[in-house]
Structure 1
Amino acid sequence: MGLFSRRKPRRAEEAVDAETPDRRDRAEELDRREADRPDAADGPGSADGPDADTGMETSEEPAPEEDGTAATPRGDHLEDGPYDVSEAPEEDRIDLGGLQVPTVDGMELRMEVDQRSGAVTGANLVLGGSSLQVQAFAAPKSRGLWEDVRSSLRDSVVSQGGTAETRPGAFGPELITRLPVKRADGRTGYRPARFLGVDGRRWFLRAILTGPALGDTEQARRFETLVSRLVVVRGTGAMAPQELIPLHLPGERPGLEQVRSGPLDPLARGPEITEIG
């Protein structure tokens, strides 16, 4: 009540003084000063006002996300993909059903298979000791999935005691994680991974890079080029958002070693999309 009792007499006095031109200028100046006060009811707070130290505008999580969504030029080492099958250029590729993978000299293809159901759940593309796990998921027509998936992945990794940072990447925002894992000696170590996501035409492609390529720019660029040459085959059937687009084992191809492995290990490459949906 004291705050308004001071203002009312002053405004009344200003109204009387404003009857002359000189006093009117002074009244207008007083009004401007009053509006600039930190405690003014409708005026913006100053840098030294009571809201300056609240921290309301600088939470820790949104800042990396904002930085990570900044547009970056597409690298010259990238092709125009990953492609929808309707737009993919002609190239010799390995047919995995929902994904088509380009043939690369020295690449080892490891298919991930659920041992209980026998369903193929992912493909690992191995080059130089590093691995790129690729999976494609159905997405709605109206919007992409990567922003929500990235946020959920970050929260999941942090909740497990790991770290996650969003940063600009070859295909837009990506997530760099360190997930805790129990070592053979009983101590806790951290396994780093790089999550890439691309929203396409009713599909979402997720790729997870692990191994020495995380610290080797030249190796990382080889995998980025590989991602940009992938083809997603969504199909025309109805699918729920985040549903895995079916994969199958490839046919025998000369010079390609096919390795059938067990189900996906979330600790090895970060939490799966089905765990956070």
Structure 2
Amino acid sequence: MAIWPFGKKDKDKHEDAAARDTGAPGAEGAGNGNVGGTGTGTGAEGAGAAVTDTAADAAAAQNPGAAGTAGTAGTDGAAADPGAGEDVQVSGTGETGPFDGDSVNIEDFDFSDFASGVLNLGSLRLPLPKGSQVQVEMGEQGPRMLHVVTRHGRITPVAFAAPRSGGQWRTTVTEIVAKMKDDGLAPEIVDGPWGREIVAPNENGQLRLIGVDGPRWMLRFTLAAPTGHEQELADEARDLFARTFVYRGQDPVLAGNSLPVALPAQLVEQLQQAMKQRAAQQNQQNQQNPGGAAGQPGGTTKA
């Protein structure tokens, strides 16, 4: 596995660094967004402007393994991914991540070479790549999905509860590959730093999924790269993956279910403002075109 260039903080700088990391997305410009389109506009130098969601993308970005199938973790699945190397089950306590936040203190690490701030989502802490933005996808009941958008494309991080025995990522790969094939894509299993990665070209570029099993959790990144940015986004996502902290906690969560996410107060405020603006725009459109179709719920808000 590659060794990413980050190290431990100097002990005498620990308190200063802790004060800088508020966990809010606004840290050093990480929360300077506006309202975007439905899954397309990014505001980060046009990144992802050519990326739209396919059925397979939407399926991959959610939990493909229902709670009832998560118990099959550890099955071989070799028929679905021939030639793939062994997956890595990380301890979460090494010099490179992803890290187990319940065992490793994020304040001991210096990510300033890579990140402009740390996004605290409760179950995840993400050192945001410099120049990136946070994009929240809205559903009928509120926030549905969170993306990190860079000039090379979009990264969707999700952490799941997993059994102590591990093996959930292998099973998930099998399920996602089958779903992608059903949707008409041609997924390929390739070897990455943490084992199996799924790569599938689509009409707009490329989808890539990176995953790893940790202690009682599984971390998965879904990458959507526009044509010409596939390798750059893969490299950037791996850099973020290696710096991500997962906080499983002690609360019972069924294996295969995503770990709960808590949005920082500043991001919640931005979402509320964006939703009000969106509602006002929709009301204005309805008044101007009373016979038109009703607006659809959802949308994407950038922060």
* Rounded Cα–Cα distance in structure 2 between residues aligned with 1:263 and 1:68: 38
**Greater Rg over alpha carbons, structure:** 1
Give the corresponding residue for 2:182.
159
With over 3 angstroms needed to count, the CA separation of the structure-2 counterparts of 1:214 and 1:71, relative to structure 1, is farther
Query: What is the CA distance between 1:143 and its match in structure 2?
Result: 2.2
**Superposed counterparts of 1:1-277, under 5 Å:** 62=78, 65-70=81-86, 80-85=96-101, 86-90=103-107, 91=109, 93-113=118-138, 115-118=139-142, 120-178=143-201, 189=203, 192-212=206-226, 215-252=229-266
Query: What is the CA distance between 1:252 and its match in structure 2?
Result: 2.7
Is the 1:167–1:175 Cα contact (8 Å) retained in structure 2? Answer: yes
Q: Deviations over 1:212-262 (max 9, x none)?
A: 487453443122101111111111011111111111222338xxx979797
* Rounded Cα–Cα distance in structure 1 between residues aligned with 2:237 and 2:201: 20
- Higher mean alpha-carbon deviation, 145-154 vs 168-177, is at 168-177
With over 3 angstroms needed to count, the CA separation of the structure-2 counterparts of 1:64 and 1:144, relative to structure 1, is closer
In structure 2, give the amino acid aligned to 1:117: Q
* Rounded Cα–Cα distance in structure 2 between residues aligned with 1:198 and 1:103: 20
In structure 1, give the amino acid aligned to 2:85: T
| Greater RCO structure (CA 8 Å; 6+ sep) | 2
Is the 1:199–1:205 Cα contact (8 Å) retained in structure 2? Answer: yes
Is the 1:139–1:242 Cα contact (8 Å) retained in structure 2? Answer: yes
Percent identity over the alignment is 26
TM-score in terms of structure 1 length: 0.58
* Rounded Cα–Cα distance in structure 2 between residues aligned with 1:264 and 1:222: 26
With over 3 angstroms needed to count, the CA separation of the structure-2 counterparts of 1:236 and 1:134, relative to structure 1, is same
With over 3 angstroms needed to count, the CA separation of the structure-2 counterparts of 1:245 and 1:64, relative to structure 1, is closer
With over 3 angstroms needed to count, the CA separation of the structure-2 counterparts of 1:260 and 1:224, relative to structure 1, is farther
In structure 1, give the amino acid aligned to 2:106: P
- Higher mean alpha-carbon deviation, 213-222 vs 135-144, is at 213-222
**Corresponding pairs, count:** 186
With over 3 angstroms needed to count, the CA separation of the structure-2 counterparts of 1:224 and 1:263, relative to structure 1, is farther
User: 2:181 is paired with a residue of what secondary structure?
Assistant: helix
* Rounded Cα–Cα distance in structure 1 between residues aligned with 2:136 and 2:148: 9
* Rounded Cα–Cα distance in structure 2 between residues aligned with 1:200 and 1:264: 32
* Rounded Cα–Cα distance in structure 2 between residues aligned with 1:96 and 1:220: 23
Query: What is the CA distance between 1:117 and its match in structure 2?
Result: 2.5
* Rounded Cα–Cα distance in structure 2 between residues aligned with 1:246 and 1:162: 30
Query: What is the CA distance between 1:103 and its match in structure 2?
Result: 3.3
Q: Deviations over 1:31-62 (max 9, x none)?
A: xxxxxxxxxxxxxxxxxxxxxxxxxxxxxx95
User: 1:154 is paired with a residue of what secondary structure?
Assistant: helix
* Rounded Cα–Cα distance in structure 1 between residues aligned with 2:167 and 2:161: 10
User: 1:252 is paired with a residue of what secondary structure?
Assistant: helix
Query: What is the Cα-based RMSD across aligned positions, in Å?
Result: 3.3
* Structure 1: runs of 5+ lacking an equivalent: 1-60, 73-78, 180-188, 266-277
